Amino acid sequence: MAQMFNQTVAGNSGTAPQKSMVMMSIEKFPVGFSVPFDVCKKEGSTYACVLKKWQKFDQAFKADLKSKGIFFLYVEGDPAKVNQYFETKPAENKPDDLAYAAYSKTKEAFHNVSKLIFTVGSRVNFSIYKILNMRHEPLIETLPEKPVLVTDAVRTANGDIAIKVSDLKHYREYLFSQSKNSASDISTKITSVKECAKMSVRDVLTDPTNAKNIDNAVCSANDIIKILKQKDAALNTMLTKNASDMYIYNHSTNVSVLSVAMALAMGMDQSQTEKLAIGAIMHDIGKKNLPAAMQHKRERLSDAEFAVWKKHVADGVDLLQSQTGLPSESFVAVKQHHERLSGTGYPYGLKANYIRPFGKIISIVNCYDSLTTPRPFKTTMTPFNALDRIMKETTEKGDFDLELVKLFIKILKGQGRL
């Protein structure tokens, strides 16, 4: 039987709860099967998630672990259930590709939301669901014309919660009432800004030709600037590092937050900061054109698939250029967010002299957030390890601007001037 530890899993903020972590050899993981638990690697006294619940443990992932000298992982969950799963013969652990495919299709009708925005005793006129074992189970069921009270079950639900996409209008109204409530604390206002930003990204990805959607994204970018300028929030409270089903929305918001933090620390004026923030929040808009199966794929992309994936950059620029009124400088952030000063980036392979300041900034923050935000089959790094990697790629390969990387590290440590 595997060894079990009661350890604290490091979270984003606050005191993390005590959770059972079961140490397991990677040889015990059935290759090609989904794992019904979160799986972590140990980093000092904390753990970093490397495989989210229900993601597939494939041969490529196993080989990657071995190449990094990782031979044991830590499985989060009830020790009896964990051991029962791993003691079952692999042949009996049937792949759930069909179940995951069904879930991937179903989840498009839902939008993950933050539990932090809900106040017990407030009224909502939309249903709220918890996400459990690839199913959406109702916590509160109601209709727009029949508001009901929010219960403690919403705030204390395990895992993520969601609402139906068809109820986004009502959720926006609830956010507005919460943020304008005189009794609301600053954390509620910050959560409201982040939630609105994520919905704005969703709207733009759904229909980038709709001028109202673009305007809402611009407003969200300015709300982020306002919060950071007023120093109402510590930078880490503006970032979201969970809800992997919402990766693209969380990531786009995070990249905008981090880009604005860099702009303010560099002393950019309001106009330039706004242009950077707009480009940052919409930098992945081109992913609208990617096949849904590719976006939901749990395994690594093939070379052919990655070639298609890289097209999202040019597609994003084309989509934004079709919109009148957007500053052309914002397109730079979209066009150059995957470029590297060494010329090894994509899709254009630009070198240092051809990468503009916006491109230099967003390439750093985009890389950092990609490394530290959980998503399928990407080892989730701690902030320390991600910054260490970025610094090595800067000093050894010349990928990033050294002075900007140093400033970024200061900002994340709380030493950079905003």
Class of the CATH-defined domain 185-412: mainly alpha
CA-based nearest residue to 366, from 390, 330, 392: 390
pLDDT at 117: 93
- Residue 253's Cβ-count burial label (10 Å; 0-12, 13-18, 19+) is buried
CA-based nearest residue to 220, from 278, 150, 163, 179: 278
pLDDT 10s digit of each residue in the chain, 418 long?
Answer: 455 444 433 333 344 444 689 999 999 998 878 788 889 998 888 888 898 887 788 888 888 899 889 999 999 888 888 888 888 755 444 445 666 677 777 888 999 999 999 999 999 999 999 988 778 999 999 999 999 999 999 999 988 899 999 999 999 999 998 887 755 678 888 999 999 999 999 999 999 889 999 999 999 999 999 999 987 678 888 988 765 567 889 999 999 999 999 999 999 999 999 999 999 999 999 999 998 888 877 677 888 999 999 999 999 999 988 877 889 999 999 999 999 999 999 999 999 999 999 999 999 999 999 988 876 445 678 898 899 999 999 999 999 999 999 999 999 988 656 5
Q: Which residues contact 413 (CB under 8 A, 6 or more apart)?
A: none
pLDDT at 173: 95
Q: Long-range pairs for 132-136 at CB < 8 Å and ≥24 separation?
A: 132/158, 132/159, 133/36, 133/54, 134/54, 134/96, 134/99, 134/100, 134/102, 134/103, 135/103, 136/106, 136/107, 136/110, 136/162
- Residue 303's Cβ-count burial label (10 Å; 0-12, 13-18, 19+) is exposed
Measured between alpha carbons, how far is 45 from 408 in angstroms, rounded to an integer?
A: 25
Any idea where the domains of the chain sit in the sequence?
Answer: 4-93, 96-184, 185-412
Cis amide prior to 347 (ω within 30 degrees):
yes
CB 34 within 8 A of CB 95: yes
3-state class of 21 per DSSP? strand
CA-based nearest residue to 194, from 244, 152, 236, 245: 236
pLDDT at 222: 96
Measured between alpha carbons, how far is 295 from 310 in angstroms, rounded to an integer?
A: 12
Q: pTM (2 decimals)? A: 0.76
CB 244 within 8 A of CB 234: no
Q: Is the dihedral of CA 241, 245, 247, 249 positive or negative?
A: negative
Q: Which residues are registered as beta bridge partners of 42?
A: 47
